[in-house]
Amino acid sequence: MFGNIKNKITEYLQLRFEIVRLEVIEKLANAMAYIIFVVMSILVSFIVILFLSIGLAEWVCEMMDSRFLGYFIVGCALLLFIIIVFMSSKHIIRFFGNKFVSILTATKKKSSGDNEDEAVKHS
């Protein structure tokens, strides 16, 4: 009788450990996917901004009839943009930090088939 209970408890603990392990793997995979997405988005955004800046600088060069002045104006505009981004860095870091924490702490909704109490009762 006690051997049967001991086996059931051992089996239950092994299953719980496996569930926790799989949940941790899932959360880490989601977090890594989010990090990769953010890094790729930053790289693509950088390339887009680079080409748009070059195009804008060439257009300003045509308008001002001065190559130096066109690139200087666009460079100053980009510098101003970078300063604004750095000044709001706390908000940006907090946003991404909250996103990362929400990914790691997200709970999965259980469907009626996932209820582990039913699985234990039927054993």
Tell me if residue 108 falls in helix, strand or coil: coil
Cα(32)–Cα(27) distance, integer angstroms:
9
Mean pLDDT for the stretch of residues 55-74: 93
Q: How does pLDDT run across 74-104, given as a tens digit for each residue?
A: 999 999 999 998 998 888 888 888 887 887 7
The structure's pTM equals: 0.63
Tokens 């955004």 -> residue: 45
Category of 108 on φ-ψ map: left (φ > 0), alpha (ψ -120 to 50) or beta: beta
The alpha carbon dihedral of 87, 92, 98, 101 has a sign of negative
| % pLDDT > 70, the chain | 86
Give the per-residue pLDDT at 54. 95
